[in-house]
Amino acid sequence: MSISIEICTLTSEHQEWDDYVRSHSEGSFFHLSAWQKVVDEVFGHDCYFLYAKNEHGIVGVLPLVEVKSSLFGHALVSTPFCVYGGVVADNQEVKSALEAYACELAEQLQVDYLELRYRHEQQNNFILKQAHSTFGCEIADSAEDILANVKKKQRAVIRHSLKNELLYSHDHNIDDFYHLLSISYRNLGTPIFTKQYFASLIKHFQQDVDITTIKDKDNKLSNAVMNFYFNDQVLPYYGGGDANARALKSADFMYYQVLCHASEKGCKWYDFGRSKNGSGPYKYKKNWGMQPELLHYYYHLVNAKDLPNLSPNNPKYKLFIRMWQKLPLSISQWIGPFLSKYLG
């Protein structure tokens, strides 16, 4: 069966696009149209937010961003800085049409590769890479039930944290959050984003974003995480803490508070995000009792001969990471944004 559709580039149809994404079972926070505004405003990358339509309206969407760097390569990605992407469509024919259009665009732009970050397995002829898994669980209706649903060993850690007189808040305090995130990124040897990026996320997503900040009993900063809300889901996404966080168990306390706050807001699903298979964060999330779900990232190679490997485990980045970890925090905050904009 053939279909009659037109493929267009998003200009002013943001509400129609978002209504479609929010109503689709495969839609995600990372498919929303505001990412186009954030990426353009903060990073200046060229965006190609494609949608397919027929006489009834939108029948498929595919947000694409061109990321071009002499250091890290040239790619067309759905969606950089995000864990999910790819086509959301009414049926396989529309999905295939949008994927084919993306391949043509990748060839025209002469990128190294096209990358589509799907959550689930797809019917296409692209190259599949499964280096990451995502984690999640249902959110119970009360704080007591939320704690009861956590795996026994991790539940004991949370109970320990609850005795440490930690303080928490849910707001839009970017300054405290950015300070803690910068510490974590520097310690990991990862370039930090510009503070403008996080301000732009709040500006364009508004009530769909908040920040959970944890302080010790003396009101000293310990941990913070930026959370994304989509339909009945919460996604704690960007998080970091200082050197004392581990002893205070403040990260465990923080994620528990995110769960409780999300429950109060009516959320039913906790998306604990992506982690590299076998990594420390991967094991940490399993300790909560959540089962890993392999992600399906698909590639169409154009000028590249091999799949990209921007992982910190790549041997060619080891020296850079060790050097970065030794930088003063202020220097890492100054240089980081010039690099991180290409590490989506």
pTM, 2 dp: 0.94
Phi, psi angles (nearest 5°) of residue 84: -120, 155
E strand or H helix that includes residue 75: strand 73-78
How far is residue 325's CA from residue 284's CA, in Å, rounded to a whole number? 22
Per-residue pLDDT of the chain (344 residues; tens, 9 = 90+): 456 899 999 999 999 999 999 999 999 999 999 999 999 999 999 999 999 999 999 999 999 999 999 888 999 999 999 999 999 999 999 999 999 999 999 999 999 999 999 999 999 999 999 999 999 999 999 999 999 999 999 999 999 999 999 999 999 999 999 999 999 999 999 999 999 999 999 999 999 999 999 999 999 999 999 999 999 999 999 999 998 999 999 999 999 999 999 999 999 999 999 999 999 999 999 999 999 999 999 999 999 999 887 766 667 778 888 898 999 999 999 999 999 999 88
**Helices H / strands E in the chain, number of each:** 12, 15
Cα–Cα distance list, 142 to 78, 102, 149, 234, 266 (Å)? 36, 45, 11, 16, 11
How far is residue 9's CA from residue 50's CA, in Å, rounded to a whole number? 5
How far is residue 163's CA from residue 157's CA, in Å, rounded to a whole number? 10
